[in-house]
Each structure stands twice: as structure tokens, then as C-alpha cells.
A and B are shown apart, each in its own frame.
Chain A
Amino acid sequence: MVRVDGNGTSQSLIQVRNLGKTYRRGGEDIHVLQELNLDVDKGDFVAFMGPSGSGKTTLLNLLGGLDVPTRGTVTVAGDEITHMSAGKLTAWRARHVGFIFQMYNLIPVLTAFQNVELPLLLTSLSKAERRKHVETALAVVGLGERMNHYPRQLSGGQEQRVAIARAIVADPTFLLCDEPTGDLDRKSADEIMELITRLVREYGKTVLMVTHDPVVARRADITLHLEKGVLVEAREPHSIAAEV
């Protein structure tokens, strides 16, 4: 159950309370997020929408422990991450968060296999175990045959699938996707969304995704709009998509 009223129970996987983020630019305060509340349960698939500059990326960065809020708290699976030290936060990210960005952000000098293996280098898994996990993850995204290809030898959609494999390989608590299809054509975007939806439905992953595309947002259980620094539920969750 996804809520934005701040009344969720402590059972929620992700609990955001009174989250605020203020940037200072040129002596002026820009309140990007204000008193934002959010509850997400395990297995939920949430889409965030909103105009450019509304703070969607800022919100994902706060949820993923890449940035610290000005006010408020983020609690994930019982861990309050907003007051963790930088070092602890880094370790927490490795353990709990899978990131998928718009620009695929693969390391160009590493093969698909090596890119997917990166998060596992931070674990105590043996080489053989790592290989098994990487092969499984690449098989899930349908790139089992492309393990030894470099990013430049792959299409945009394939690169993004490698990035997804990298995000899931260490079995994180939840996935954060910032415009995962923003750079793809419709067909590739559909394939990627098919894959992400499967991760939620078949593998029970929890996914929070930012998108500008209503068709993409329709895949999610719920679409939340970021307006004036807080989240609001779309009045009729999927009506917008239906109109398209």
C-alpha cells in the first residue's frame, strides 16, 4: 500500500516523514521538497511524475542515500538513513539500493559481465559465486549471450538492460530508476518496461521510478505527482495513460 499522507504504519518498507530539501543558489533559498511524506511496501511499484525541475531526481537521491535532506527522515527496512555517516551510508547503498539511471552509466572499458559484477566486488562472494550471480542476472535481462560485449557493442536498450542486471545482481532491497527509458525509442522503452514490470511481478522487487512518459508510468501500481514540493496521488491513477 502506497500512501502520501504520512499515516503509514511502521511496517512500511520505506517511510519518508516531513522530508525537506532546500538548495541555496545566489543567496536565494529554493525549497525543492517540503514536508514530503511517503510510505511504500515491499513489492510496490511506484512511478513519480512532475514537471522538469520539480524535484524528482532530488527525491530519488534522498531515497537512495546519495544526498542528505535539509529536514525530515527516510527510514528503509527499519534503518534511518538520514543520520548515517557518509561511510555508513555508502555501505548501506551497496547493500540495499539498485540504481538505474537515464544515461546507462556503464563503465565503457568493462564488458557487460564485468559491469554487472561490480556490486558483487563489494561482497565476500567467491569468484565462482560471483560468476553464477552475474550469469543469472544477465539471463534475467535476456543478455546471457552478450556477457563479453563492451557497452559500445550494445544497443541503447541492451545497455540499459545491462544496467538493470547490475542493479539487481546483489539483490538489493529496492530499485531506484531515474527516467530509465528517457533515452530510448518506443520499442526499446517497452522492452525495458516489460523487464522492470517482470522484476516486480515475478521476483517481488520494490521499484520507485521517475518518468516523464505517461505510457511508462501506466506500468506502475500507482503514479505520484510531485507538485510544489509534495507528492499527490493522481486522482484517477491510470486515466491519463488511457487518454493517450
Chain B
Amino acid sequence: MKFRSLIFANLFRKKLRLVLTIGSFAVALFLFSFLAVVRGAFNRGADIAGADRLVTINRVSIIQPLPLSYRDKILRIPGVKAVTHNNWFGGVYQEEKNFFPQFVIDTENQRQVMSELQVPDDQWQAFLKDREGAIVGARTAQRFGWKIGDRVPIKNVSYGTAATWEFNIDGIYHSDRPGGDETQFWFQWDYFEERVPQSFKGNVGWYVVKLDSPDYAVSVAKAIDDMAGNSSFETKTETESQFAAGWVKQFGNIQFLVVTIGSVVFFTLLLVTGNTMAISVRERINELAILKAIGFNDRAVLFFVLSESLTIALIGGLLGLGLAMLAVPALGNALNGLLPALVLSKAILVAGLGSAVIVGVASGLLPGIGAMRMRVVNALRRV
């Protein structure tokens, strides 16, 4: 392109300004990626939830139990393929800060319902035979350096008198969906039933229902809640993604927070670069007038200004995204499984670069149109 040298020469007119403007884009894009990654981590559950799964909890709250007797009733509803149930154990491994979710699972149906969480068959068989056995997600295993065969003490703090329960790591599960939850710790319902005080026996935390097809979601949810209607254990049944979204809301409106901060960041970036472009155009308005006198038309002048701001946006944007690509995995390691996996997805990169391009064009647009409309004779008279 024959105008390249002109555009580049103008870019490097004020090197410090160029560096600072590119820096603003880089910082903004870095921040954007980071926010998007965090948002993604919290929303992951909702995003990758099985469309063909329902979660049934006690209408009052998830911490209220449901009777085990619902299992067979749910199974009889047309459209239901399988049902499994979980309890929240809420135990402590060494210290409170070592949090990870421990689920009591129904070994008969777990693998059929949660089919994306995969355990090698030999490990599963070993687990079934081991009353104190546990299956742990790969991330949590990695976090604490657990290997198969390790014995892990977890303190029961929720059911009856506090006591340490010992578990044997019999297997490690992986999720076959990218970004799937690999932090859970599972152990057997039978073992749980055996050890909890009488008052807790026969109570499950929640049910997970696998459907024949996502089309049954509405009718099955209604049938389950109707079945439990007017009992002392009324239920609330939602799709897994609704459930996950509700779960995230407990941490405050993270979505809102992230979107607000992100918008402020981009708006500030727009002001900063818009101002910079305006100054940059104003200080060479008579050079632009000379170009017009020579015969460059209004469109060419607009093009020069826009390609300048766009180049800055692209360089700064790519720089920020590149830094994020380096930083996010490092941060993920540092967080050590506290959050679900941090994933800098292609969609985030594309959205980030897209936003940078929009800000780049927008910041160049007003000064560019000003330069386009500027009349040569007036600009030259100002010399």
C-alpha cells in the first residue's frame, strides 16, 4: 500500500505519545480479558450445563433435605431416563482455606447421569469395592498432590459431632468438556448413611435427573414439583443451567460487576484515545490542509486518521491479549483450584480485539471527520 510510509511516519511523530496510547489499549485489553475470564469461570457451570439434566432441590433452600423416597417416584415420570442424588458434605481438609466441594454420590446412577465426568473402569470398580473409597477431580488431586492409593482425612463439620473421616483415593475423574468442573470429591452414599446420626439418615441433598431429551425439561420439572406439592418436602426443579446461574448469584451479581467494570474501562479508553487523536490531528491540521491542497480528497484524509487510530488499537489490543494469554494460565496455577478453571477462550480474544477495533475507529472518527470537513484556506490562514 503506497500510503503506508505516510501513515507510519505519522504514527511515530510523537514516540512517547504512541507508546502511552498503545499502552492504554494493552492495559485495557488485559483487564478486559481478565474480567471475561473470571466471569467465564463463574458462569462456566451455566454455560456447559447439560441441556438434558434437571436439578431438584428443596423449595425452601438447597440446604434443606429431600426424602430418598422421591427417587423412585421421579423415575416413573415419562421422559426421565435416570435419577441420581447427592449430599453436600462440606468437610474440611486440614484447613478451611483448602476448600473444594465434597459430594456424597449414589454409586448406582452417578456415571449414567453425570456422563461427562469420566472415571476409568478399573478405578471405578476399585471404588465400588472400597467402602471408604473416594473419586476426586483431576484439578483437586493436582492441587493437593494426591495420588491413587493415598489416604485422605476430611473433618466432618456438618453432620453430628465433629470427627475426621478417612478416605482412600481410588480414582481420578476428568471432564470431557473443556472447562468442566474437575474439583469435586465423591464418596459413597452407603458409607455416609452408615456414619451420620439417625436424624440425617434417608435424606438426600438434591436430585439430578437425566432426561430422554431436552424437550422434556418443562414437563418433567412440572411433574416433579407437582408430585412433591403439598408435602412437607416441596421441591423446586430447574434445568441444570438455571440452577448453576442461580448458584452464581449467591456470590453477588458478578455478571453485573464484570460488565460494569468492563464498560468503564472501555469508555475511559475511548476518552483517552479520542482525546489523543484529537490533539494529534489538531497539531498537524495545516499538514492535512497541505495534503488536501495537493489533491488528497476528504476520504483519503479520513482514511489516514482512521488507519492511524486503528493501527494503535490493533497493536495495543494484540499486546494486551498476548499478555493475558501469558498471565491467565499463570494466575490459574496460582489460584490453585480456588475458582473453577480459568479459560481464555477464543471468543474472549475475538470479543476483546473487536472491542479494541471499535474503540480505535470511534476515537479516530470525530477528529477524522473534523479533518475531512476542514477547509484548506482556513487551515492555511491559521499558520
Q: Which of A's residues lie within 8 Å of B, judged by CB?
A: 57, 61, 64, 66-67, 86-87, 90-91, 93-95, 99, 101, 103, 105, 107-110, 114, 118-119, 121-122, 127, 166
Contact = CB atoms under 8 A, between A and B. Distances in A.
Given A103-B383, A121-B3, A90 B9 contact: no
The interface residues of chain B, by DSSP majority, are classed as helix
B293 A99 contact: yes
Given A66-B376, A87-B297, A90-B296, A105 B290 contact: yes
A93 B380 contact: no
Contacts of A86: 298
Given A66-B377, A119-B294, A107 B9 contact: yes
Contacts, number: 65
B291 A118 contact: yes
The interface residues of chain A, by DSSP majority, are classed as helix
B260 interface: no
A110 B290 CA distance: 13
Nearest to B13: A109
Interface of B: 2-3, 5-6, 9-10, 12-13, 286-287, 290-298, 375-377, 380-381, 383
Contacts of A108: 13, 287
A91 B293 CA distance: 10
A90 B292 contact: yes
Contacts of B377: 61, 66-67
A101 B383 CA distance: 11
A129 to B, nearest CB: 12
Given A107-B287, A127-B2, 12 more contacts: A66-B376, A90-B292, A90-B297, A93-B293, A94-B296, A107-B9, A109-B13, A110-B6, A118-B294, A119-B295, A121-B3, A122-B294
A204 B381 CA distance: 30
A114 B5 contact: yes
A57 B6 CA distance: 29
Contact of A107 (B3, B290, B380, B381): B290
Contacts of A61: 377
B2 A121 contact: yes
Given A105-B286, A105-B290, A114 B295 contact: no
Contacts of A121: 2-3, 6
Contact of A99 (B2, B13, B294): B294
7 contacts: A66-B376, A67-B377, A99-B294, A107-B287, A107-B290, A108-B287, A122-B294
Nearest to A87: B297
A103 B381 CA distance: 11
Contacts of B376: 66
Given A99-B294, A119-B294, A122-B296, A109 B3 contact: no
B2 A101 contact: no
A109 B12 contact: yes
Contact of B9 (A93, A94, A109, A166): A109
Contacts of B3: 121
Nearest to B378: A67
A57 B380 CA distance: 10
Contacts of A110: 5-6, 9
A130 to B, nearest CB: 8
Contacts of B5: 110, 114
B173 to A, nearest CB: 61
Contact of A93 (B6, B12, B13, B295): B295
Contacts of A87: 297-298
A24 to B, nearest CB: 14
Contacts of A67: 375, 377
The 7 closest A-B pairs by CB, nearest first: A94-B295, A109-B9, A90-B297, A105-B290, A93-B295, A67-B377, A66-B376
A58 to B, nearest CB: 8
A107 B2 CA distance: 16
Contacts of A109: 9-10, 12-13
B322 to A, nearest CB: 28
A40 to B, nearest CB: 20
A125 to B, nearest CB: 10
